[in-house]
Amino acid sequence: MLKSGDAVVYKCRGVYKIEEIGTLNFSFADKKRKYYTLQSVDDSRDKAYVPMDDVSNIRQPVSKEEALALIGRLDEIEVLGIQNEKYREQEYKNCISGYRPESWVRVLKTLYKRTKSRGSMTSMDKKYQMLLEHALFSEFAFSLGIPKEDIPEFIQRQKDIKQEQSKK
């Protein structure tokens, strides 16, 4: 059971804090249902409302240990095997629908590889890259206790350390 003040990851939108729990005073809201009112950790203007009886779109953030373990396994995570370019976006959506960081990494690695081989990025790929980098970096920043903008450099340092250790 989640409570006020708890941190959650909401879909692919990043880390939120549960601000309130209760009914909503909006005309569109079911007055019989209770909702979690979520406040984005990154954007004070971003709120979300999630019914308490349908929490499939929220989960607890990964722990510091889980974040470090995932960063340590980045090179081992496979890219998506897109069979048909017509269904590329659907494959992205299917992969990220569970809102798991490892799936986000799979899509991001696929995007990076595709951009490198093509020499350019499509607008759809850019949209998914921005969405998933925000979600992943926001969660890592929260779990590791470092600023979101420092995450790419932190990941690179961890990869460099791992590479140095493997040479020994």
Helix (H, G, I), strand (E, B) or coil at 59: strand
- Quote the DSSP letter at residue 55: -
CB atoms inside a 10 Å sphere around CB 43: 13
β-pairing, 47-51 with 35-40? antiparallel
What sign does the dihedral 154-156-159-160 (CA atoms) show?
Answer: negative
Phi-psi region of 34 (alpha: psi -120 to 50; beta: other; left: phi over 0): beta
Which pair of tokens denotes residue 20? Answer: 């309130």
From CA 90, how far away is CA 129, in angstroms rounded?
15
Residues of the chain where predicted confidence (pLDDT) is lower than 50:
none
Percent of the chain residues past pLDDT 90, beyond the cut: 83
State the pLDDT at residue 124: 94
State the pLDDT at residue 70: 97
Angstrom CA distances, 51 to 24, 46, 58, 93, 150, stand at 10, 17, 10, 22, 33
